[in-house]
Structure 1
Amino acid sequence: MAGGAVVAAGGSVVLVCLTVKAAMDGMETPIDIADTFYGTHFGDIHGWVQGCYAPNATAAKGTRASTPPAPLPVPETGRDRDKEGRGRLYATYTKFNPTSSRHYSGRTSMVVDLRKPLRPQAEQAVATRDSNHHTDEGDEPKTPGFRQAVLDEFDVGTALDYANRYSDIAYWRIRGREQQLIDFYGSAQSDTREPYRTENVNRGVAKDNPLGRLFHDAATKKWGQLHPYTGN
């Protein structure tokens, strides 16, 4: 199932664009991350052509075994992090509305100081995001009466520039976690009919997102499965 999902993602225009951009930036591509996560070889184009995927230890006698790929160059963001002690923290959170008895689930990110305790910084990231609700995104809850946002889970990556977030497995995990939270509390309004069960108007990860299954699996491996996969 996982391998099939990666193949499907590999044929996606979206994934190809992200992969090309990351490769040009000298960073891990989404396909590289998927290969590492699943133990697959979809990023090894030479291996596809030659048909050489078997590890040296398990290759049958008389057959060619794939040569382990050379280490990828250290991303610029990684060097920035090592030099300045910074990274990007990604977090999920929930907000409860006692008036409607429904939850809103969301995510946020923030550049943090890795030399300091991470949980207080994660809580600060959520508090900062909470203060901007209703002002910067049209699909957020408009119903009054929400309680303060509560941190759910967080993870840390190296993409100081948010544009490079797809090179962070931490970002993949948080994307998957957000959608699992939405589904856990009753699904997005776009997936159900009234009476709605959550305050999320739309899904966190579109059903046809080519990386949806990878986001879900990454989150499940990190924190356990909160809700089964609901994408296509």
Structure 2
Amino acid sequence: MVGGAFVAAVGSGLLVCLTARAALDGEKTPIEIADEYYGTHFGDVKGWVQGQYRDVAPPPGAAPRSKPDESTGKRLGRIYVTYTKLNQMTQRYYAGRTSMVVDLAEPLRVQAALAVLLRNRNHHLDENAEPKGAMFDLAQTDRFDVGTAVDYSQRYDDVAYWRIRGREQQLIDFLGGARSDTGEPYRTENVVRGVAKENPQGRRFHAAATELWGQLQPYTGY
């Protein structure tokens, strides 16, 4: 048997389908792509068996408590991740966020990379439209945090969600600002802000992100 984290990574029916399809097409599989671009070890079965990757430490604040899932006995949570994608044609970045249900007992950094990988393949339902096109590089993980909202509708109960919302907007501003803010000439591939200027929780999101990761850019909302 392979290690639990590897099973979690490849056990998803979606990832298995993507891997099989890529193999049939003679392309790199999602697991191989993840290892190459994110420095992870999804494909190192021997390493997982030997327990080489179980000591990946979570970042500060990323150790929530949750009740075991009744059907599996696993402690599930939700990982929230920010990421960037470079448009090779325009040399402008897109900054975004995504999330995924995870096993809190397994290495979080690996699962964060997997969440970004799946988002990059446009197979994860999220609130924001994802830019498409061959000119975009694969998404690169920025920051991540973990909460307990297995049900996505309960995400606002997770401080981790506040942090990643704030981080996303700071990242957009740091890279040059959304097009809706700057107008032409465009500085990023973000058409709109991650957090609307008039969002009543904007300052809360900003403060939460700053408290954990430091302020990347000053607050730009109202």
Alignment of 1:107-186 (within 5 A): 107-132=97-122, 139-142=129-132, 144-186=134-176
Shift of 1:142: 4.6
1:79 corresponds to: 67
Q: 1:227 to 1:190 in 2, by over 3 A?
A: same
TM-score normalised to structure 1 length: 0.63
Cα distance between partner residues in 2 of 1:78 and 1:138: 28
> Do 2:122 and 2:130's aligned partners in 1 also have CA atoms closer than 8 Å?
no
In structure 2, distance between residues paired with 1:145 and 1:223: 30
* Per-residue deviation, 1:98: 1.8
- CA change 1:137–1:160 in 2 (3 A) is closer
- Report deviation, 1:85: 1.2
Amino acid at match of 1:207: K
Q: How does 1:1-232 map to 2 (within 5 A)?
A: 78-80=66-68, 84-132=74-122, 139-142=129-132, 144-232=134-222
Name stretches of at least 5 consecutive residues in structure 2 with no aligned partner. 1-64
The residue type equivalent to 2:67 in the other structure is R
Does the 8 A contact of 2:67 with 2:75 survive in 1?
Answer: no
CA 1:138/1:129 → structure 2, altered by over 3 Å: closer, same or farther? closer
Flag the structure with larger Rg.
1
Equivalent-residue separation in structure 2 for 1:136 and 1:176 (angstroms): 16
RMSD: 2.3
Identity %: 63
Which deviates further from its counterpart, 158-167 or 80-89? 80-89
C-alpha distance in 1 between matches for 2:69 and 2:212: 23
Counterpart AA for 1:98: Q
- Moved segments of 4+, more than 3 Å: 80-83, 135-140
**How many residues are treated as equivalent by the alignment?**
156
Q: Equivalents in 2 of 1:111, 1:147: separation in Å?
A: 25
Name the amino acid aligned to 2:155: R
Residues 36-72 of structure 1: CA deviation (Å, up to 9, x unaligned) = xxxxxxxxxxxxxxxxxxxxxxxxxxxxxxxxxxxxx
Deviation at 1:193, TM superposition (A): 1.6
In the TM superposition, residue 141 of structure 1 has moved relative to its aligned partner by: 2.7
- 1:161-201 Cα offsets, whole Å, 9 max, x none, are 00000000000000000000000000000001211000000
SS of residue paired to 1:214 = helix
Measured in 1, the distance between the counterparts of 2:143 and 2:175 equals 16
Compared CA separation, residues 127 and 206, structure 1 to 2 (3 A)? same
Q: Give 5+ residue unaligned stretches, structure 1.
A: 1-76
Q: Is the alpha carbon distance of 1:125 and 1:181 closer, same or farther for their aligned partners in structure 2, counting shifts above 3 Å?
A: same
| Structure 1 residues 81 and 186: alpha-carbon distance in aligned structure 2, compared to 1, 3 A threshold | farther
Give how far 1:114 is off: 1.0
